[in-house]
Amino acid sequence: MKFAFQFNNLLGSVYRKGNITFTPDGNSVISPVGNRISAFDLKNNKSQTLPVETRVNIVCTALSPDGHLAIVVTEHGEGHLISLVSNSILGTHHFHHTVSQVKFAPDGSKFAVTRDTVVQVFNAPGKTREFNPFVLYRTYPGHVDDTTSIDWTSDSRVLCTGSKDRRTRILAVQKLKNLSVYDLGGLRDSVVGAFFDYNSLDVYCVARDGYVFVWMSDTELSALESFDEEKKEVESEEENEEETSNRKANKKKVTREVAQKEETSTVAKVRYHPGGKFSYRDVRKDSEFSELTAAAFHKSTHLLVAAFSDGTFYLHEMPDFNMIHSLSISEQQVDSVAINNTGDWIGLACGGLGQLLVWEWQSQSYVLKQQGHNNDTTCVTYSPDGHNIVTGGGDGKVKVWNSMSGFCFVTFTEHSGEITGVKVTQNGRSVLSSSLDGTVRAFDLTRYRNYKTLTSPKPDQFSSVAVDGAGEIVCAGGTGEFMIYVWTMKTGRLLQTLAGHEAPISCLDFSMSDGTLASGSWDKTVKLWGIYEQAGMRETIDLNSDVLALSFRPDGREFAVATLNAHLTFWDTSSAQQKGTVEGRHDLGYPRKDTDKVAGKTSAEGKAFETLCYSADGTCVLAAGRSKNVCIYSVQDQMLVKKFTISCNHSLDGMEEFLDKRKMTAWGSLALVDTGQSEEGAAIALPGVKRGDHSSRFWRPEVRVFSLQFSPTGRSWVACTTEGLLLYSLDQGMVFDPYNLEMDITPAFVRAARDRGDYSDALMLAFRLNEQALIQEVFESIPVDNAVMIVDSLSDVYVDKLVAFIGHMLEGTAHIEFYMLWLMPLLTSHGPKLKQRSQQVMTSLRTLQRNMSRKYDELRKISDHNKYTSEYLIALSNLKRKKRLKEEEEEDGLRHLEEEDESSDEELPWKLDGESSEDGMDLS
């Protein structure tokens, strides 16, 4: 088994706090999730979490106009410069104060930071000859309270800042003749947003109480005059270190002349006058007005978006304040609003629900609608092909995620209590979930509905659920009656109840080989049940501590048990004999909470592995618990192989292992001192409270792993953590892992064998060298006509490697038909052998199945799209043809009538003459 797993993506959480922003092309939205950054591609329907982490949670982000750089600032005022090209941190700067907003200038030359009561302007990275990416250009004081918003003019020469002191200040970044600093008042509450109009100095001020002030400037933006030429001469003189005394005198003279010009300048100063005052109270007409929490303005289209604490947002056209649209997205407050470059999409983020929306206001439809679990993600499982991930949360919701795109595509909300377990049937068509509401529900993944609900005779809370390999028997363990309930899926009828445990049942699992059911309980026993037999219980295994988790090996012949004393024990299924033990308390680490009054080692005595699972090949076990570490143990060697640290976010509790002397005072830890501040005070939770006391003023979630699951394909695994669902995948391109390699096997030797026409030898040599690019080069150069002959000559070892290679290549290749033509004789010739050795090649077959089903779905969608597009174009063409024929018929009819009229006019005199000649009358 390979262990080069790297962090791949963050699922189950799309937004926490901070501001969201669109990329310059307007196709992606950037969202801060804890101490990470997630990018949601709206065009390709994919999500990606950058492999960078900050020390604490991120509160504000900003993107450069070219989209190559991002600046993120954390809760502690630490700024990081991140490259979106290499996905790495380029520089760090500590602002030493709380930062509320960062914004780049439209030309990308500078960026402004609202820090405490001042505004700082920095030169953008790469624009100056400085190695430090954070070069301070100028600091603008003047506000008497925290600054809240900032905006630039279209030419990047002037910026406006809003503050909690109810003022808006207009600041000249460059030296201007007719503008330096200008204060705007009139508001009765904190400024939420202050925005410049497009190519103008007009300002729109939005206050927290719902009032909007429009300030009109009597000066055009192009009329601003600066002293750039004189300043450049002075700066060039300053840079010359070898200047003579005469040059120094000239420099002083030029500086004096600039000051005199500034004093005697006759250019008209910039003046502002009120242009309008509007209120959202007139629009909403509520008895209890909600606070305005976020606002955004799109300059070119004059669109103002304002969001409120009750989950509603309004779209108005400025400066007349004409309402275009309004919508309520939730009952929680909207924390951030953003508009893309074209003004078509509006991004809305709600931290209370962990919700992220992108709304297209013209068509009134959702472009993106994602929401994580409101509470912790408590359980997780993979679909049999590894394509989907199913999660259950403390909010009573069951969500199904696409492992490739990272998006949730269906949510089931029928449960009314916390989800304690989820399972997917082997056919992949149904999801089973157990809950503390006393029900086990079956959900259909085809029609997305709850089609069956299983309950117990007496009300009971279910702590776990298990389903057999055929998907016909469902079992759930109770915490109140200490019984195991067995139902049939076809009728939903309760078949039997298994009694024998003397404490709540903590875990259940089915063996895939013989249908044996294993149950673990807090009564320090593991019981093996024969569900298909009349006898029921077969074996009881006594342990030294409470059982917290158990899991069967994929072949069902062995199972592992995690107990409260931090031990992992391995047992044989058929004989119920112990095969090994691992003591893992030291591997979990010694985390301590800030409010702990004992040492880390003392508090770690109560820590244990609370979840575990086998790897796809059954050689290793993943285990984790109330700690930041995930451990991988070798079953055969019974030793730690690798340890993953899931997070370095110190905004979570339980990250430190040693006392921080900076947080120690004469009265003890600073976390135990009630400072009386609503955002920084730390109240001690009540005994037994694990998820925070709702009456406390401030609460930090504790880092832990709730559930683990290995992918059936063997290439990834997921962990349900406090921060969300972390996905780790295997990157084989970083590992050189040859097979039976010899000195003379080189890439040149392999290519020479291929050029000679020895395709079978070249393919086997490439597999022995085990370089992905070389195998692909050799394989795709072999004519398909030789596939049958080459496949028949391969041994079992190379057949397994070929199956794994084709399954991996189908994930991203465009040569689908080529690989299918190879796959057909491969499965035809070696299908019976693969069936006998299903356990050895199960991961490869599951990978093959997953990628084939994904390619099938993609081709089906493309075909349907082309089909409907063709039908639309044909119908449109027929409609136009009918319309053109109708117009031609109408024109022919008109032309015919005109010709008849003309012919009648010409024949009329001739007829009169004829008639007169016949009657013998002379009309002349």
Residue 679 has pLDDT above 60, yes or no: no
Q: Are 49 and 43 in contact (CB under 8 A)?
A: no
**Cβ contact 720:705 at 8 Å:** yes
Q: Are 35 and 80 in contact (CB under 8 A)?
A: no
pLDDT at residue 516, as a whole number: 87
308-311: long-range contacts, CB 8 A cutoff, minimum separation 24: 308/210, 308/280, 308/284, 308/333, 308/334, 309/333, 309/334, 311/350
Mean pLDDT of 681-704: 59
Question: Given this model, what pLDDT does residue 886 score?
Answer: 86
Q: What's the pLDDT score for residue 44?
A: 85
Q: Average pLDDT in the 506-523 region?
A: 89
Per mean pLDDT, which range of 522-526, 565-569, 603-607, 696-700 is the poorest? 696-700
Provide, for the chain, the percentages of residues in helix, strand and coil under a 3-state DSSP scheme, each rounded to the nearest 5.
25, 35, 40
- pLDDT over 60 at 825, yes or no: yes
Instruction: Give the pLDDT mean for 154-182.
Output: 90
Residue 894 backbone phi and psi in degrees, to 5 = -65, -40
DSSP string for 619-667: SEEEEEESSSEEEEEETTTTEEEEEEE----TTSBT--SS--GGGEETT
CA dihedral of residues 712, 713, 715, 719 (deg, nearest 10) = -20
pLDDT at 424 over 90: yes
How many CB atoms neighbour CB 490 within 10 A?
9
The tokens of 742 are what? 């010899």
Residue 264 pLDDT greater than 60, yes or no: no
Q: Is the pLDDT of residue 362 over 50?
A: yes
Distances from the Cα of 114 to the Cα of 21, 470, 772, angstroms: 17, 61, 50
Residue type for position 182: Y
Residue where the block lists tokens 């007009």: 202
Percent of the chain whose pLDDT exceeds 70: 86
Residue of 30, 58, 70 whose CA lies nearest to 338: 30
Q: How confident is the model at residue 697 (pLDDT cuts 50, 70, 90)?
A: very low
pLDDT at 376 over 60: yes
Q: Residue 799 pLDDT more than 50?
A: yes
DSSP labels, 902-915: HHHHHHHHHHHHHH
Q: What are the DSSP calls for 105-167, one per residue?
A: -TTSSEEEEEETTEEEEEEPTTSSS-SSS-EEEEEE---SS-EEEEEE-TTSSEEEEEETTS-
Please state the rounded mean pLDDT for residues 281-288. 71
Predicted confidence at residue 259, as pLDDT, reads 53
Tens digits of residue pLDDT in 199-255: 999 999 999 988 999 999 988 888 777 765 444 444 444 444 445 455 556 655 655
Q: What does the pLDDT read at residue 379?
A: 93
The per-residue pLDDT for 680 is 42
Tokens of 151: 């905006």
Structure tokens at 591: 């985390």
764, pLDDT greater than 80: yes
Question: Is residue 695 over pLDDT 80?
Answer: no
The token pair that represents 513 in the structure block: 């080989």
Whether pLDDT at 674 is above 90 = no
Mean pLDDT of 311-329: 90
Q: Is the predicted pLDDT of residue 434 greater than 90, yes or no?
A: yes
The C-alpha atoms of residue 411 and residue 430 are separated, in whole angstroms, by 14
Q: pLDDT (tens digit, 9 = 90+) per residue, 632-664? A: 999 988 899 999 999 888 888 888 777 777 777
Confidence check: pLDDT of 738 > 60: yes
- Residue located via tokens 């030493």: 96
User: Widest CA span of the chain, in angstroms?
Assistant: 142
Average pLDDT, rounded, for the chain: 83
pLDDT-derived band at 404, boundaries 50, 70, 90:
confident
Q: Is the peptide bond before 747 cis (omega within 30 degrees of 0)?
A: no
Residue 606 structure tokens: 């109560």
Burial class (CB in 10 A: 0-12, 13-18, 19+), 388: buried
pLDDT tens per residue across span 216-226: 998 888 877 77
- At residue 796 the predicted structure's pLDDT band, cuts being 50, 70 and 90, is confident
Mean pLDDT over 333-357 rounds to: 92
Q: Tokens 């929680």, residue?
A: 332
pLDDT, position 461: 92
Query: What whole-number distance in Å separates Cα of residue 336 and Cα of residue 293?
Result: 8
- The continuous run of DSSP H or E covering 789 comes out as helix 787-793
Q: Strand order in 28-33's β-sheet? A: 21-22, 28-33, 36-41, 46-49
Instruction: Give the Cα separation of 173 and 170 in Å (integer).
Output: 10
In our burial notation (b when 16+ CB lie closer than 10 A, e otherwise), range 505-536 reads bbbbbbbbbebbbbbbbbbbbbbbbebeeeeb
The predicted structure's pLDDT at residue 261: 53
Q: Which residue, 216, 156, 165, is CA-closest to 188?
A: 165
How many residues appear in the chain? 924
The answer, yes or no, to whether residue 122 has pLDDT greater than 90, is yes
Q: CA–CA separation, 175 vs 418, rounded Å?
A: 61
Paired tokens of 21:
């922003």
Section 359-386 average pLDDT: 89
Residues 498-507 have a mean pLDDT of 90
| More confident call, 791 vs 392 | 392
The pLDDT value given to residue 358: 94
C-alpha 908/C-alpha 617 separation (Å) is: 103
At 718, list the tokens: 């997921």
Among 258-267, 398-407, 641-650, the minimum mean pLDDT is found in: 258-267
Residue that wins the pLDDT comparison between 654 and 296: 296
Between 481 and 268, the higher pLDDT residue: 481
Q: How far apart are CA 559 and CA 614, in angstroms?
A: 9
Cα(159)–Cα(749) distance, integer angstroms: 65
Structure tokens at 295: 């606002």
pLDDT digits (tens, 9 = 90+) for 768-794: 887 778 888 888 888 888 888 888 888
Q: Which of 429-443, 822-836, 853-867 has the highest mean pLDDT?
A: 429-443
Q: Would you state the pLDDT for residue 921?
A: 40
Compute the C-alpha angle 855/861/864, nearest 5°: 135
Q: Can you read off the two tokens belonging to residue 24?
A: 């310059």
Rounded (10°) CA dihedral 655, 658, 660, 661: 170
The distance in angstroms from the start CA to the end CA of the chain is 119
pLDDT recorded at residue 287: 56
> Distance between CA 608 and CA 629 in Å, rounded?
12
Q: Which residue has the higher pLDDT, 186 or 294?
A: 294
pLDDT (average), residues 355-366: 91
Contacts of 813 (CB under 8 A, 6+ apart): 819
pLDDT of residue 234: 43
Q: Given a cut of 90, is residue 899 above it in pLDDT?
A: no
Report residue 332's pLDDT band, with 50, 70 and 90 as the boundaries: confident
Determine the Cα–Cα distance for residues 63 and 52; give it in Å rounded to an integer: 16
**What pLDDT does residue 241 have?**
46
**Whole-number Å distance between alpha carbons of 571 and 580:** 7
Alpha-carbon distance of 316 to 303, in angstroms, equals 6
The pLDDT of 828-846, averaged and rounded, is: 72
